[in-house]
Every structure is written in C-alpha cells, then in structure tokens.
A and B are shown apart, each in its own frame.
Chain A
Amino acid sequence: MTSRTPIIPQNLKLLVEERIHDDGLRGNIRRATHTSLGKRAAVVEDFPRWEEMRTTAHDIKKHVMDNLAHYLELFERQATEAGAQVHFARDAKEASSIVCGLAREHGERVIVKSKSMATEEIHLNPALQQSGLRVLETDLGEYIVQLAEEPPSHITAPALHKSRGEIGRLFSEQLGIPYTDDPEELTAIARRVLREEFLQADVGISGVNFGLAESGTICIVENEGNARLSTTLPKVHIAVMGIEKLLPDAESLGLFLNMLGRSATGQRITCYTSLITGPKRSTEPDGPEQLHIVLLDNGRSTMHADPKLREALYCIRCGACMNICPVYQKVGGHGYGSVYSGPIGSVVTPVFMGEQAAHDLPFASSLCGACADICPVRIDIHHHLLDWRHRMVEGQDGPLLERIAMRLFTFTALSALRFDLAGRLARLFAPFLKHSAGGMRLPVWSETREFPNLPEKSFKQLWKEDRERS
C-alpha cells in the first residue's frame, strides 16, 4: 500500500474554498454530525447532573495536570512492574523511530493497527512503510481512508466525509470485487479481508484513551473489536500514548467512560473497553508476549508549561466540538489541513505544527462558543482560539485601512458628542445605501445575506422619550 498524502501546511482559504462548493461532501458531513449530535442528546439525559459531571471531569484533569510529573512516574513504575516496557519520546521523530525499531525487530509479515490519533500525529504509517514494513489500518473508517490514500477527517469517524457509493467504488477498484454500496455487505467484505491479516500479524499497534497511574493500566475504547484483536493476536503490542492521557485511578475512569461514549457517538458505553495491564501472564492462554508503551511528549510539555494552554491537555478526543461546530459542518476535517481538525484541533495544532504553519487556524472559527458548551471536560475552546489570535497578531500591524478605521472609531467613541453626531449622520445617509428589496447594501457582505437596517432612533433618544412619557 502506498503512503498517505502527507499533511503539509497549506493555504487554508484554498482548502476551504474547494470544500465549501462540494455539495456532496457537505451533505455527507451534515448527515454524520447531526446523527451523532442527536444520539448524544438522548443519552446525556440519563444524567440530570451532567453539568456537574463536566465540572468534576474538568477538575480531575486539572488535578492530573497539576501533578503530571508525579502521575507519569507512578504510571511508568506500575506499568514496568506489570511487565510492560515503557519508552519516552520527546517528539514525533523520536516516537516514530522507537516504534519503527520495535516493528522491524518483530514484524516480518504484517503490522495491524487500530485507530489512533497519536500515531497520525507522529506520521507513523509513512515511517513504517519507509522501513519496508506493511502496515494495515483495521478500524473500518481508517481502512477506507487508507485504501483511498487520504488522512482521516474526523477523530472518531475517519471516513465520515465519504458516501456509501464512494466507498463501494473504492472497494471495487482496490479489492477487485463486484460493486456494492450496501453497508452490510461492505462491512462483511472488510471483516473477511482483515480477519485473514489479523491471523497473520506479528505486531499490533494501538493508541490509548486513558492511562491509569495507580496500576499502570492502559485503557482502549472501541466498538468494532479491532483494537482487541490488534492487542491480543500478535505476539508484540505497541501502544502510543500522549502523556496527557493519564487519570489517577479506576474511580475516575468510571466518570470519563460515562462521558466519552456519550459525547463521541451517543453511546452509554462503547462495545469494548479494554483495560490492559502488562503483557499476557504466563498462566493466561493468549495475549501478546511483549507490551511496549511509548509515552509521547511532542509539544505537550510546552503546553503544560503555559498556564493558559495547559487546559487544552484536558481533551479526551471525543470529537463533540467538531460535530457541533458550524465551521466543521461546512468544510469537514480535511478543510483544516491539520491532523487534529475542528475547534480543539485549531487550539493544539499551532503547538504541534508551529505557529507559522498553523497561523490561519485560530481564525477559522465564528467564536460562537458551541464547542465550549458541549465539551465534556469544559475546555474553554473559543477563548483559547481568541488567545491564539492575540498571540499571532501581537506586534504586527493590521492592514492600513483597518488601522485608519479603528483610529476613527476610537476618536468617535471617546466623546458622547461625537458618537451622537456620528449616529445622526449614519441615519441620515443610510437610506441612500438601500437595496431595492429594502435591506442595506454593503460590499461582499450583501452578496450572501442582508444587512439589517439602522433603527430610526438611537437608544439614547428612546430612553429619553420613555422617561418623559412616564
């Protein structure tokens, strides 16, 4: 299999432009995101105290981040005592070379992989392929985008941008089978193809949803069973885990499991929640002989050191902020040109890819705040986007026209007399800007929507009249 299109910083406007005119794509995304949101709403109702749960989840993550060095050391110690081999990686390159080294040592035939955003982040697949290894994505959505040589477009539903027809054609071309667009049949075909590969694989690679410090346990959440297969059948299991995934213990895990399934896919619990502690015990019938856990920094310690940005490390990658985001709903994950898309993606990408490369991302938001309202761990996402905007324009001059306009506005607004006068003038001249339809006409803006008319009287006038009447 050839490698995926690498994700490189691109002109965001160009990416968006391409997608916003693709009606098919917009339909696919709208259907998928709205289905998830509808299901989520229904099961969140199980908990009348959902809002308090969010606050508690936020505070548990804060507790972990305020003690991250302690919990990371504890996790390392416990996992090692349970027989796992723990590796540390400062950046994407180190992580990917650790995994490639292990895979080369053990993987002669095929490497099976279950969905993991951390491995996307470190661009593991191209690196494995360059090492001459065959790596197979086994989550259905990931398998589809791998066949299509595309990156995933959503963190929990990687092929959400594709219709059944597109997937049917892809399977037909790539697997040499008769065309079908029946999801049931397509799924059965994928099961058959991938089951054979699972039975052959020497190495399984997975991500991690939560790491439990008290026992050195990794927790993987999924529906398909491919993560269980990847972590059970091959003799070596390699797990790549961002250092922010830690939780103190099984008590806190309960809360997060309750929130993750509901927020991500509207499920009370996903089909499989695997808690893996060390490799297979000598008395157990099956399981991998070796478990390697690669702890990934890649900018996380930089976020950790920043008192504001630290909050972005609370993210549990549920994808709810993408589903609810009016921008994501229009352009989809690929419209962002980054591994992590959507609102939270725009907060963390400047750290992962550099401010220069991700310069436009924090501006790709309407700042409506729906993301912060839905976030199960209460990350104040839109304020982080606003913060990034501040950081990125700091010390830079805006366009000349904007600067003149802002100066004029400041001058006007600083005096009641001038402000009043400006209002009167605007009301006097507004009728000349009127559309035939009655609305005001402004360049660009009026091409797609109406600008509201100015009210006939100012607030001050209305106030005065009201006082006089009473």
Chain B
Amino acid sequence: MNARDDMMKKLSLGSRMSADQRIADLQHLHDRLRDLSGGDLAELIPLFRERLLANGAEVAECRDGSEIAEALESILGDDDRIVLADDARFADHDIARKLSEKRETRRVCLSDDGNLAPENGGWKQHYAGMDAGITFAVGGVAESGAVIVHASPGESRSMSLLPMHHIALVSAEHLHATLLDAAPLIASLSQRNGSSAVTLIGGPSKTADIEKVLVTGMHGPKRFTVLIVHQLPAGQQDSSTPLSHHTEG
C-alpha cells in the first residue's frame, strides 16, 4: 500500500463523525468564536494606531488626494530608490510622478523600460538594492495591529520584503476590528484562483535570538510604516491641514 493510503486508512479508523455531525459541530464552534470575538472595539483607528506602534511600526495618516504624495514624501525622507506597486491609484493625483521628481522610482511589473520584472535577470538584486517599497494593503486588523497585503500582478512579494523600508497604504474604510472579522477577506484572497501569498504584516523584521535583546531589520525591512488614508467626505476637496505622523517613543 502506498504511504498516502496507508496513512489515510489508519486515520480513518479514529475519525468516526458523520458528515452531518461534522458540519453541525463546526457550526457550533464558529458560533463560539463569534461570541468570543468583538466587544467594544468601536474606536478602530486609535486602537489600530496604538497596536501598530506597540509592534514597532510607524504610523502616519493623511486624507485621500494630493495629501498622499506629501505624506509619502515626508515618510520616505532620505530613501532615494523606491519601488512602487503597479497600481492605478498611484497615477491618481499624480503620486507616481511627484515621487519620481526627487528620486529613482520603479514600478514593479513593467519589463520594457528597465523597470523591475521577473524576466529581468537579477531582479532579486534589484529589489535588494532598493531603499523602500510602497504597497497597497487590502485591509488592516486593529486588534492585532497588522495590515494584510497580497501578491498580485501589480504587487510582488519581494517589494515588501527586500528593501530596508516598507510602506503600506491602507484605507481607513478597510479596517477590521479583529482577525475573525478579517477571516472572510483572508479566505477569499486565499482561494485557488486568488493570490499565492497573503501576508499579515505587524511590524518591521525583527529578532530577539541573542539574549532576548530586540533588534530590527534581521532579514526584512528595518522600518515598517503604515499610512492610513482617510476618505474625503463626499464633495469635499483636499484639505490644507495634514494629519500627524507618529513614531514610537
């Protein structure tokens, strides 16, 4: 008997629930999970911010529109070479062009003009030489202090991993209170026709393997910044007062 059938046979001897029982049992467990989750998490954004900071991330906020480019400018600081997700939203409000005025900017996927692409030999080294990667998160989890990113045609896995600084934009509307609330999103992204890599990112790469001393930038980014983008109320144009930029102590 092959290994698979052998293992399955042994395990099925100890698995005796009928399909109906199993479904009912799982349903009951889901009810208990829902009961345990939630509670008073009305103020999601302050909680999200607090938890991100506690995890070692930096947090900035801005309003949708031209403020995004300004906020990114101030977050990037000295980062000269950046890689942007290939996302139509960067064309909006001229963000990509504004950022590229002062620094070397590459998009993730275009291969014809020297931009990063897997077909380009040495793409790994290219990414590794970048100072910052800017991606769009599909959601955030307030209670955990984490954002959800995923590999897609316009967004590589490496751009949030190889550069020293990772910046994730997340729309305030896409915040989830808990991991349980985010589960349907995670499940739908992880379908076989979905993304091969969905990643929850809760802070900069770090280690405490030497005497439990915390050191950031072990293998991945040393800095991780979340830019929370607030939707403008309908009809309102850009505001002149930019929102604040927080960093931990």
Residues of A within 8 A of B (CB): 28, 31-32, 35-36, 46, 49, 52-53, 56, 59-60, 63, 65-70, 72-73, 78, 81-83, 88-90, 94, 138-141, 144, 157-160, 162-164, 167, 183-184, 186-188, 190-191, 194-195, 198-199, 212, 214-217, 223-226, 228-229, 231-233, 243, 248-255, 257-258, 265, 267-281, 283-287, 295, 297, 301, 304-305, 310
Contacts and interface: CB of A to CB of B under 8 A. Distances in A.
B217 interface: yes
Given A183-B210, A194-B219, A269-B55, A53 B36 contact: yes
B179 interface: yes
A67 B156 contact: no
Contacts of A250: 183-184, 186-187, 190
Contact of B55 (A78, A188, A249, A271): A271
A269 B11 contact: no
A162 B210 CA distance: 8
Given A225-B161, A277-B195, 19 more contacts: A56-B36, A65-B14, A78-B192, A94-B3, A157-B209, A183-B210, A191-B218, A199-B128, A215-B187, A216-B192, A217-B190, A228-B157, A250-B187, A270-B202, A271-B203, A272-B205, A277-B192, A286-B123, A304-B11
B183 A254 contact: yes
Given A195-B128, A268-B54, A32 B211 contact: yes
A35 B209 CA distance: 12
B66 interface: no
B95 interface: no
A88 B54 contact: no
Contacts of A88: 2-4, 7
Interface of B: 2-4, 6-8, 10-17, 22, 25-26, 29-30, 32-33, 36-37, 51, 54-55, 108-109, 116-118, 123-125, 128, 141, 143-146, 151-153, 155-158, 161, 178-180, 182-184, 186-187, 189-192, 194-213, 215, 217-221, 224
Contacts of A281: 151, 195-196
B200 A69 contact: no
B187 A183 contact: no
A225 B123 contact: no
A89 B109 CA distance: 39
Given A81-B192, A224-B220, A284-B152, A69 B8 contact: yes
A116 to B, nearest CB: 16
Complex A-B, nearest 5 residue pairs according to Cβ-Cβ distance, in ascending order: A225-B220, A254-B179, A141-B209, A225-B219, A285-B156
Given A187-B215, A277-B195, A272 B200 contact: yes
